[in-house]
Amino acid sequence: MNIEFIDIVQSLIDGVLYGSTYALIGLGFTLIFGAMEKLNMAYAASSIGGAYVGLGVSVLLSLPLYAIFLIGPIGGGLLSVLVYICCFRYLPSNNHLAALMASIGGLFFIDEIISHETDGSPLDFPELGIFSEAYFEIEFSDMFLGFRGDLIFVMFASFLAMLMLMYLLYRTRLGLATRAVSQQPVAAQLCGISIHQTNSITFILAGVLGGIAGCLAAASVGVISPLLVLPLTVKGLIVTVIGGLGSIRGAIIAGLLVGGLESVFLLLRGVNERDIYVFLLLFVFLVFRPNGFFGAEIDRD
Amino acid sequence: MKKLSITKGLAISALTLAMSAGVALAEKTVLISGWGAQSGPLKSFGMNSETILKAAVDKINSEGGVKLKDGSMAKMVYEYYDSRCNAEEGIALARKTATTTNTLIAIGPTCSGVAAASFGVFQKKVDDASDTGLQMPLFTNTAVRNGLAKISQWTFRNTPNEPDMYDKLFAWVRKTKPELKTIYGGTETDQGHSAGTYSKVIVQAAIRHGFEWVAGPIDEVSGKIASGHKNVIKASSNWLMADTSFSVQARAFKKSKADVYLVSSHPFTTCGMLKELARQKAKPKLMIGLTSSSSAETMKGCAKQAEGMIIPTSFAPVTPEAKAVADLAAANGAAADLHSAAAWENVMIIKDVMETVGVSANGENLEADRRAIRDGLEALKTTPGLIGTVTRNQEEGEALKPYVFVHAKGGNWEVLYDPR
């Protein structure tokens, strides 16, 4: 099929909009890395797990569908703190590899639990009501550019989450404690800040955010399945690295960038080559700009 | 007192030994093994197969079991393993069951990729002394990619013949809906069954019956099975099994303005794709799907968007026997579909073959028993199936199963056309 310029623009729009789900997952990765300087590989799994909890509880108690979007984040928060306890809390704080491996174990453990509980079947996930029905079209030289209403909503949610996180980190005592623990854990402890309490709260916050991300990602696909876990983990990690480990605005920008480029490469080169270019981008950043877009922000004193 | 105790003890021991020997004599068993995906995203396929396999074994045992060569009856027992849709796991299970157990015949696996890899470790030609491959019959119920059983003369399949099914389907569509002329489609390129059946079977059958690819002829595709299949993949809008965004592909489908959309994928991405097509208001006149999507999973995930999709399948509850198996599966929390229901047929065929060729099932004649079952399977020209008689291709070890065309309607797969 002939590819026209408008197809490329449309793909870019589709990808940037869908990239907002990557951005949300990237935000969670970056929040935990910013606080502990450790990667929580089980993050996307607990996010999707939260969405499953929301769906399961809502169906079980016959609650209205919007309840999923309230219960999901709570489920995400609980799963996240469970991951913290199992994979981080009791491991030596200076052994980053142990925490990384433990969280990879957590990722597969949560993934398997979901597979066993659902028999691996995809489940219908409620879409975002009027937003999912909304589809905007703009005429562009006798052709139309389309915008999905639900993905526009997800994008706004990402920006809102970013603003809230920045407020929390830079305008509240909790944020001050998190930053203190992140930058100088010993000094923070000497000032009376409990490291584990602060980390637990960070995990809960990230988990709640992940639960929202999981629900929004599943709602934007319209289906939830254990198959969502690995792609979101991989894309979340790429976004975190490209955005700069620990950088909140970097995660948002990188999420949209990765989504957009992925979509354009899919159109131009097909699905079998699409991911090659995304990983190539990751390598380019690792070689030429290892701190990502805003990685300097995580420099420690 | 002590003497009495010793005497009593000896008597009790002798009695126990005699009883256990009697029990052992009374409880002869024939062991069959099975494996399929019981964890991971395709878990439901293995779970459904095992549930139905167990139900079939229970039925046989409730009717007395399997008649052995010496005229005695043996209970059928089975062991089922998780091959996780992983080729190495499938190979390891084939080796384990063939070399360390008294398994007479095995059933499985779920995934075509696992079948393709694990069939390769079996002896290719019987009586080939230079080939030390495994010598145990394997009778597949699920892995459906075309032409796998011919890899070894020890491997057999009771899976639908997709080239035949899609050929008849497109012939029927051509006849009943002559106004439909153009086609366009896509597949999961990382799934052997989806991509292989799409490029080598579905598109070829459509072209053979006069449907036109929207962007003009695809190079080297003549309608012959498997000709130019790589060009089919190149010319399509494809995705991967773990993909979550389908906007680019759906837009290409819509832009094609084809009369018929071909969606060749498993339930998860089928649902993702159908939902995206619906969002973009892409409305073909007809949608045709992959055999594996005619399952409960698709109905759970996207019944509304799948409405009208037509799929050929070798199982539907259209006979009393098929309905009984479907009900039995449902009562045990499983779903009977073209893959899992074949497990029932396989177990029944195995029982018949064992009784026809006469197995001793005493462990000492394991090799001879396995060989006799293999030869018995190879000799079958037809077998009874749940929806009709299955013809066997004796040279290739494959089946030609009866089938029906189903379409998604009101949250269920309903029979649209029954060519039996």
SS3 A141: coil
Give residue for tokens 């935000």: A27
SS3 A147: strand
Distances (CA, A) of A43 to A22, A95, A110: 12, 19, 10
Same domain assignment for residues B212 and B305: yes
- Contact present, B57 and B332 (Cβ < 8 Å): no
Q: Is residue B291 part of a domain?
A: yes
Token pair, residue A38, equals 């450790």
Span of B99-103, B197-201, B228-232 with lowest mean pLDDT: B228-232
Nearest CA to B143 among B22, B347, B291?
Answer: B291
Asked if A121's CB is within 8 angstroms of B248's CB, the reply is: no
Whether A200 has its CB under 8 Å from any CB of chain B: the answer is no
pLDDT of res. A298: 47
A-to-B residue pairs, Cβ atoms closer than 8 angstroms: 116
- Please give the model's pTM, rounded to 2 decimal places: 0.79
Nearest CA to A37 among A81, A86, A99, A87?
Answer: A99
CB-nearest partner of A115 from B39, B235, B238: B39
pLDDT digits (tens, 9 = 90+) for B241-260: 888 889 899 989 998 999 99
Choose the mutation target among B247, B255, B300, B302 for the interface with A, i.e. most A CBs under 10 Å.
B247
CATH number at residue B131: 3.40.50.2300
Whether A184 has its CB under 8 Å from any CB of chain B: the answer is no
Q: Is residue B37 part of a domain?
A: yes
Q: Is residue B419 part of a domain?
A: no
Same domain assignment for residues B150 and B173: no
Same domain assignment for residues B146 and B255: no
Whether B420 has its CB under 8 Å from any CB of chain A: the answer is no
pLDDT of res. A233: 92
Asked if A119's CB is within 8 angstroms of B44's CB, the reply is: yes
CB-nearest partner of B268 from A7, A146, A225: A225
Task: Look at residues B291, B313, B335 and tell me which one is the last residue of a structural domain.
Answer: B313
Same domain assignment for residues B324 and B392: yes
pLDDT of res. B95: 95
Query: Residue B197: which residues within 8 A CB-CB, separation 6 or more?
Result: B144, B145, B146, B162, B166, B264, B290, B291
pLDDT-derived band at B6 (thresholds 50, 70, 90) equals low
Peptide bond into B109 cis (omega under 30): yes
Give residue for tokens 């590899």: A97
Whether B330 has its CB under 8 Å from any CB of chain A: the answer is no
Same domain assignment for residues B138 and B263: no
Same domain assignment for residues B331 and B238: no
Question: What residue ranges define each of the domains in chain A, with the CATH number in brackets?
Answer: 5-298 (1.10.3470)
Classify the phi-psi angles of B220: left when phi > 0, otherwise alpha if psi is within -120 to 50, otherwise beta: left
Same domain assignment for residues B301 and B170: yes
pLDDT of res. A137: 80
Interhelix angle B267-279/B247-256, rounded to 10 degrees, is 60
A208/A206 Cα distance (integer angstroms): 6
Q: How many domains is chain B partitioned into structurally?
A: 2
pLDDT in tens, chain A (301 residues): 677 888 899 899 989 998 988 998 998 888 888 888 888 999 999 999 999 999 999 999 988 878 999 999 999 999 999 999 999 988 887 788 899 999 999 999 998 888 888 877 778 888 887 887 788 888 777 777 888 888 898 888 888 888 888 898 889 998 899 888 888 888 998 999 998 899 899 999 999 999 998 998 888 887 888 888 888 899 999 999 999 988 888 999 999 999 999 999 999 988 888 889 999 999 999 888 888 888 754 444 4
List chain A residues with CB under 8 Å of B40: 112, 115, 120, 226
Same domain assignment for residues B154 and B167: no
Pair type for strands A123-124 and B412-417: unpaired
Question: In this model, does residue B23 exceed pLDDT 60?
Answer: no
pLDDT-derived band at B300 (thresholds 50, 70, 90) equals confident
List chain B residues with CB under 8 Å of A266: 248-249
List chain B residues with CB under 8 Å of A7: 251, 255
Pair type for strands B212-213 and B260-264: unpaired
What range does the domain containing B251 cover?
162-313
Q: Is residue B12 part of a domain?
A: no
Taking every pair of C-alpha atoms in chain B, what is the biggest distance, in angstroms? 100
A50/A99 Cα distance (integer angstroms): 22
Same domain assignment for residues B182 and B305: yes
Q: Is residue B217 part of a domain?
A: yes
List chain B residues with CB under 8 Å of A112: 39-40
Question: In this model, does residue B227 exceed pLDDT 80?
Answer: no
Whether B243 has its CB under 8 Å from any CB of chain A: the answer is yes
pLDDT digits (tens, 9 = 90+) for B131-185: 999 999 999 998 888 778 889 999 999 998 899 999 999 999 999 999 999 999 9
Same domain assignment for residues B198 and B127: no
- Closest chain B CA to residue A19: B245
Same domain assignment for residues B306 and B374: no
Question: Averaging pLDDT over each range in A142-146, B22-26, B351-355, which range is the top one?
Answer: B351-355
CA distance A43 to chain B (A): 18
List chain A residues with CB under 8 Å of B275: 221-223
pLDDT-derived band at B296 (thresholds 50, 70, 90) equals confident
DSSP state of A128: -
Task: Look at residues B313, B336, B357 and tell me which one is the last residue of a structural domain.
Answer: B313
pLDDT digits (tens, 9 = 90+) for B364-390: 899 999 999 999 999 999 999 999 999
CB-nearest partner of B189 from A112, A263, A271: A271
Q: Is residue B412 part of a domain?
A: no
pLDDT digits (tens, 9 = 90+) for B277-290: 998 889 999 999 99
Burial B355-370 (b: 16+ CB within 10 A, else e): eebebbbeeeebeebb
Whether A112 has its CB under 8 Å from any CB of chain B: the answer is yes
Q: Is residue B74 part of a domain?
A: yes
* Cα Rg of chain A, angstroms: 19
B189/A96 Cα distance (integer angstroms): 37
Same domain assignment for residues B271 and B287: yes
CA distance B75 to chain A (A): 30
Task: Look at residues B287, B313, B339 and tell me which one is the last residue of a structural domain.
Answer: B313
Choose the mutation target among B243, B279, B293 for the interface with A, i.e. most A CBs under 10 Å.
B279
B241/B364 Cα distance (integer angstroms): 46
pLDDT digits (tens, 9 = 90+) for B55-101: 999 999 999 999 999 999 999 999 999 988 888 999 999 999 999 99
CB-nearest partner of B279 from A121, A135, A228: A135
Query: Residue B413: which residues within 8 A CB-CB, separation 6 or more?
Result: B294, B299, B311, B313, B316, B406, B407
Q: Is residue B273 part of a domain?
A: yes
Q: What is the ipTM of this complex?
A: 0.75
List chain B residues with CB under 8 Å of A272: 189, 238
Whether B275 has its CB under 8 Å from any CB of chain A: the answer is yes
- Closest chain A CA to residue B256: A1
Residue predicted with more confidence, A45 or B3: A45
pLDDT of res. A149: 86
